[in-house]
A and B are shown apart, each in its own frame.
Chain A
């Protein structure tokens, strides 16, 4: 936010001048255009945020029950709640599945599609493949979840189990989603990777279009191999996009809900809980909505802090480049 820094008094700040010449009303008139947006964002976003923050300091059974002031009780309880702590530990795995693996895979796939497939086999083929990788991104997540829960059905009638039985000759009946924590969380992670992979591929490929083809040709003539070109040209060129992908997917990972809801409902025995799902469960069937509000508020705070850190890091990196 460089424009926020105080500048010595100037008569007209060209940066701040409205882009339409003024005739009366001045800049004040522009605030009129905010009225619908301000009302809606106030009611739909800020009212719930404030209400939940407040509620997190109360015990409340919901409905007509009375709210009882609780101070920090709900907040301190969070740190002794093993389900809550486990749900945040699971977020680390969700970040692996939604941020780290897709970004790394996405880098490789985008570079390969752009650099090799696009240049040697034609742009049509590479955009067709790009579209294929992107397809899961636009599927309703509920549909993807139901699809995977069908494939991962326990007993021998599950698609994956049948397939494994066919390969090994034995009767395989793994309860992928409900059996034990390790297979349940890994299955959920695979679904997340499958959903996410197309997003970095598309963004990185678009970023690569900024690279002058001559740059690659020159380095090729100099005898650089593919990996050297990838490191020296591709990676530095698309660093801003890596930032954007990192930020947006990390936030999505912190808020993740639907894959867990559809695949495992948090099971087996609450072990695949994520904070979002935990908050939802507590709001729906918990006995203390104040506690649910504390969980939801804690996620909001974490998301906010992560966003600020990322944006600061990005501005710093950009300033260094400039």
Chain B
């Protein structure tokens, strides 16, 4: 295999900081200090989330009378229930899952098609083509906001999940096209030649050889597109205007903007909105680190 796919698929196994081999020398005081500092830093990072966890289960009275750092007197699910039913959280959750899932799949397909022509087909002016597609990533979203709003309005797609799906399929596939083009540029030629000799058409080579070999990379991309889309804010805020069409971040922001919201409902709502992301993070932690790496080392 060539170097690029190797870093993508089997990254990190070779030079992993081996514990056993280097442990011979004792740990010095300064090394312990570094460890403690790093752990404190990590604690500082998760601290806001710990605060959420502590306070989401307080009753409004308990919250008013206690310090945010104190544990709740008794577990109260009032806040969670108020948010869950009052703001139709299941609906928002489904909207987010549907939109992000569709974008993940469609953007990967689009990236594969684009990068096939660039990386395998070696079409003329491919450096410029990559730049053209990358524009989708560079351009600030307010630039898209007004014209697309009008376009989707004319097409009757406002407050329809497809307005967001179409937009983010294009935006996310910019990164996919960039990454996959450089990967396919080093794709082993022998395999493709063998297939051509056996009479495989281009599309057949793409479907039956290239895509299966790229599968690990494509799944990393899919996870990334899913999360990036899940977290998007500005364009969904613009395009999704009915209560039924809101995504998880939008519902939370709406709750935040309401004047007479109980703080406990807000805190509980924030906690619930974080949970899907955390679950996703725990499942795909390794994939994620591999993915960011892939992006950086191109």
- Chain B nearest CB from A211 CB (Å) reads 7
**How many A-B contacts at CB < 8 Å in the complex?**
313
Give bound CA distance, A125 to B67, whole Å. Answer: 32
B182 within 8 A of A: no
Asked if residues A147 and B117 are in contact (CB atoms below 8 Å), the reply is no
Contact A45 B113 (CB under 8 A): no
Q: B215 an interface residue at 8 Å Cβ cutoff?
A: no
Asked whether any CB of chain B lies closer than 8 Å to the CB of A244, the reply is yes
Distance of B103 from chain A, by nearest CB (Å): 12
With A131-B285, A206-B293 known as contacts, the answer to whether A147 contacts B15 (CB < 8 A) is no
Docked-complex contact A163 and B122, CB < 8 angstroms: no
- For residue A179, CB closer than 8 A to chain B, the reply is no
- Given contacts A1-B127, A44-B166, A262-B253, is CB(A37)–CB(B173) below 8 Å? yes
**Contact of B156 with A by CB under 8 A:** no
Q: How far is the CA of A122 from the CA of B141 in the complex (A)?
A: 43
Nearest-CB residue, chain B, relative to A3: B127
The reply on B140 being an interface residue by CB < 8 A is yes
- Chain A residues contacting B252 (CB-CB under 8 Å) are 140, 142-143, 146
Contact A34–B39 (Cβ < 8 Å): no
The answer to whether A65 has its CB under 8 Å from any CB of chain B is no
- Find out whether the CB atom of B140 lies under 8 angstroms from the CB atom of A48: no
Question: Do the beta carbons of B231 and A141 come within 8 Å of each other?
Answer: yes
Number of interface residues of A (CB under 8 A): 113
Residues of B within 8 A of A (CB): 11-12, 14-19, 22-23, 27, 30-31, 34-35, 37-39, 41-42, 45-46, 48-49, 51-52, 64, 67-69, 110, 113-114, 116-117, 119-124, 127, 129, 132-133, 135-136, 138-148, 151, 166-167, 169-171, 173, 177, 184, 187, 189, 192-193, 195-197, 202, 205, 227, 230-231, 233-234, 248-250, 252-253, 255-256, 263, 266-267, 270, 273-274, 277-278, 280-281, 285, 288-289, 292-293, 295-298
Can you list 13 residue pairs at the A/B interface with Cβ under 8 Å? A18-B121, A30-B122, A33-B116, A41-B136, A49-B143, A112-B38, A122-B19, A139-B274, A142-B252, A163-B68, A241-B297, A244-B295, A303-B140
List chain A positions with a Cβ less than 8 A from chain B. Answer: 1, 3-4, 15-21, 23, 27, 29-34, 36-37, 40-41, 43-49, 51-52, 109, 112-114, 116-124, 126-127, 129-136, 138-143, 145-151, 157, 159, 162-163, 166, 194, 197-199, 202-203, 206-207, 209-213, 217, 226, 240-241, 244-245, 251, 254-255, 257-258, 261-262, 276, 279-280, 283, 289, 292-293, 295-297, 299-300, 303-304, 307
